[in-house]
Amino acid sequence: MLHANQAAHAWQGSLERDPWVGGMSPQARSRFFQRLSDLGAVDEFEVCWSGGGTPTWALISARLIDYQGQRAVLSTFTPINKMKLMESRLELWAKVFEASAESLIVMDADMRIITVNQAFRRHSLYDLVELVGKRPGFLLAPDNSPEQLDSLRRTLARRGYWQGEISVQRKSMESYPAWLVMNAVRDLDGVTTHFIASSLDISERKASERQIEHMAHHDALTGLANRHVSKLRLAAAIAQARRSGEKVGVLFVDLDRFKHVNDALGHHVGDALLQSVSKRLLQLVREGDTVSRLGGDEFVVILNGIGDAQAIAALLDARLIPAMREPHQVEGNELYVSCSVGVAVYPDHGDDMDTLMRHADAAMYQAKSGGRDHARMFTPQMQEQQLQQLHLESDLRHAAERQELVLYYQPRIDARSGCLNGVESLIRWQHPQHGLIAPDSFIPAAEESGLIVSIGAWVIREACRQQVAWREAGMGDIAVSINLSAIQLKSGGLAATLREVLREFAVTPGQVEFELTESILMDNVDDTIATLHAIKALGFALSIDDFGTGYSSLNYLCRFPLDKLKIDMSFVQDIHGSPQNLAVTKTIVGLGHTLGLSVTAEGVESAADADVLRHAGCDELQGYYFARPMPQAQFIVWLAQSAAPRAA
Ligand SMILES: Nc1nc2c(ncn2[C@@H]2O[C@@H]3COP(=O)(O)O[C@H]4[C@@H](O)[C@H](n5cnc6c(=O)[nH]c(N)nc65)O[C@@H]4COP(=O)(O)O[C@H]3[C@H]2O)c(=O)[nH]1
């Protein structure tokens, strides 16, 4: 060291030592001196200088000079610690800027793009060079409303800030929704120097919002509008019709015997059938009409802009009902399903939504009880009938305790000998106001309300009591068959009821037979088999009723401990006029006999029917031809007078 001014002392440690050795790393030193020797001068060589103790960033400039006759190096030190700090911060911010998931655009005061980050380049598909110097207007998609853009400009100018949803156009001309935040950057004097736009692509969020919205308004299984939307659409259709003077049709569509499909083939087949029905309904209506699913197998169709009610009737009879009857290809099955439809028309049958829905429902109920597979238009009488039905259902609660229930008995005749085999007990309700009510009018309501369990228990006790009474009257053991409902079977207490009955009445269990329909048997097969075995273990007989109408699986049929098959009446009636019915009947007889079951034909109305059925191989016959169901007193008279002697 030949000379150092006062300021330079701080950069040097001990004056005896070579400052360059302690000041710089060997690599930096070799670069520095190489440059000095090559050029004779070094300007602003940036280095982390350790010669003064604490390492300090510095710019060193040096010249080779002649000093007092010797070659020397003149160097100056400029501390740049603060600059380096700022530089490293800037580098960090640059990295943050580039790595940000938000799209960022930096613009000058004239709104010309200075730079954009990687996220923006990725979303917009533009390169930086294509953007720099341009105003960002061309990045906005045409579907942004002029009002919205105007609000952006005005708010940004006034408050220096704007945020909102905007549609951004990519280079490929597609657009995407983005949440944009615009900020004006101001200097200390409040003058805007830059604008920064940060935006987030919200396509995914919008898609999930749309999905949630869709789920809230649509039925998950079929994709149809749900009850909520159906009501909104009906309200809108009524409002529109009020202005235009047109009509609105409200159709309640309910599938017939859908439960059988579900029970027999499983819920996945039932679901697929509902989807197929939905598609068919959608194909039948015009654009602007609404098809919705209320739940289960219930659909509501709203027809807009109808000229007159007859047009709806024509649509139903000519298109909807026939289209439903067409087979549905579902999971390898060819399924046939029909529907019952109730129709209410605005303004003819009501001028508000609730009334129309209620009236369409009442009409559908009538279509169901009127034999299914057709449509009914609402009439004021239906309302009355529905009201009566409601009263009937509430009266039913007290029918048993008021002793209004009675059993009728219909003889079952041995096909070969013509002797009485036994009787089927059939319930009637002797209503104080409405007279004798047939089971079809109240059993469904009893099943729905669960009352069937106590009513059914009453039937079992009464039939057993009667059997004992006949025996005590010297008429011997007359076999009785008793209908069981699915609800009774599922209720769990059936075996206990039967044990109690056996304790209370001295019946011969083998002379008491329970009739179950196919659909009951096929519902929840494993539990049913267990219950049937429990009934069988008590000694009772079991038969399968209305055979041929359901979806019996032959595989299961062998596993049920059955004694008898009763062929459904629909095959028996017109048996001598219909070769198909005869063929089905013969097949069922063959099947029954193969399985070791006796076969009964019910609904025999004429001697000719009886003849054919006898020849077809039926073991037992039952029907109006022999006797109608009758109260027990009348049955005794019939038996005394009848040509049907008691079986030996
Ligand atoms: N057209 C015609 N019909 C005939 C002929 N012979 C008998 N019938 C009728 O056919 C029905 C046969 O009973 P089901 O199939 O067990 O059908 C029964 C059964 O499913 C149900 N039911 C009756 N009593 C009870 C009961 O105590 N408990 C339960 N759970 N259901 C019952 O109500 C249904 C209807 O019973 P009912 O009205 O008594 O009607 C009876 C009977 O009166 C005929 O030659 N021609």
Enumerate domains of the chain plus CATH numbers.
6-84 (no CATH), 100-204 (3.30.450.20), 219-378 (3.30.70.270), 398-641 (3.20.20.450)
Residue 317 pLDDT > 70 = yes
Q: With pLDDT > 70 as the criterion, what percentage of the chain qualifies?
A: 98
Closest residue CA from atom 20 of ligand 1: 483
Q: Ligand 1 pocket test: pick from 453, 483, 630 the residue with the most ligand atoms within 8 Å of its Cβ.
A: 483
CB 128 within 8 A of CB 121: yes
Ligand 1 atom with minimal separation from the 605 CA: 45
Residues in the chain: 648
Angstrom distance (rounded) from CA 365 to CA 253: 10
Strand order in the sheet with 375-377: 290-295, 298-306, 247-255, 339-346, 375-377
**What ligand 1 atom has the least distance to the C-alpha of 517?**
20
pLDDT at 553: 65
At 131-188, the pLDDT tens digits run 999 999 999 999 999 998 999 999 999 999 999 999 999 999 999 999 999 999 999 8
When pLDDT is averaged across residues 546-569 and rounded to a whole number, the result is 83
Quote the mean pLDDT of the chain: 91
Phi, psi of 428 (to 5 degrees): -135, 155
pLDDT in tens, 544-554: 998 887 666 67
User: In this predicted model, what pLDDT tens digit does every residue of 507-531 receive, in sequence order?
Assistant: 999 999 999 987 777 777 788 889 9
Tell me the H-state helices in 558-626: 569-572, 579-594, 607-616
Under 8 Å between Cβ of 397 and 453 = no
Query: Measuring from each residue's beta carbon to the nearest atom of ligand 1, which residues come in under 6 Å?
Result: 410, 426-427, 438-440, 443, 456, 459, 483, 485, 515, 545-546, 602-605, 623-624, 629
CA distance 488 to 535: 13
**Protein residue whose Cα sits closest to atom 29 of ligand 1:** 483
- Three-state SS at 517: strand
Sorting pLDDT into bands at 50, 70 and 90, what band is 458? very high
Question: Out of 79-83, 249-253, 366-370, 596-600, which region has the weakest mean confidence (pLDDT)?
Answer: 366-370
Ligand 1 centroid – CA 424 distance (Å): 9
Whether pLDDT at 604 is above 90: yes
Mutational test site, ligand 1, from 410, 424, 426, 624, max ligand atoms within 8 Å of CB? 426
Write the residue with the smallest CA distance to atom 9 of ligand 1.
603
Above 60 in pLDDT, residue 646?
A: no
Q: Residue 311 C-alpha to ligand 1 middle, in angstroms?
A: 39
Confidence label for 407 from pLDDT (cuts 50, 70 and 90): very high
Q: Are strands 375-377 and 405-414 parallel, antiparallel or unpaired?
A: unpaired
- pLDDT above 90 for 211: no
In angstroms, rounded to a whole number, what is the distance separating the alpha carbons of residues 422 and 647? Answer: 9
Give the single-character DSSP code of 138.
G
As a whole number, mean pLDDT of residues 11-29 equals 84
Nearest CA, atom 44, ligand 1: 603
Structure tokens at 566: 């009763």
Query: How much is the pLDDT for 648?
Result: 40
Please report, for residues 153, 164, 165, 191, the alpha-carbon distance to residue 160 in angstroms, rounded to integers and kept in the order given. 10, 14, 17, 11
- Asked if the model's pLDDT at residue 409 lies above 80, the reply is yes
Q: For residue range 89-134, what is the model confidence (pLDDT) as tens digits? A: 999 999 999 999 999 999 999 999 999 999 999 999 999 999 999 9
pLDDT of residue 647: 47
pLDDT at 215: 85
Q: Is 545 exposed, middle or buried (0-12, 13-18, 19+ CB in 10 A)?
A: buried
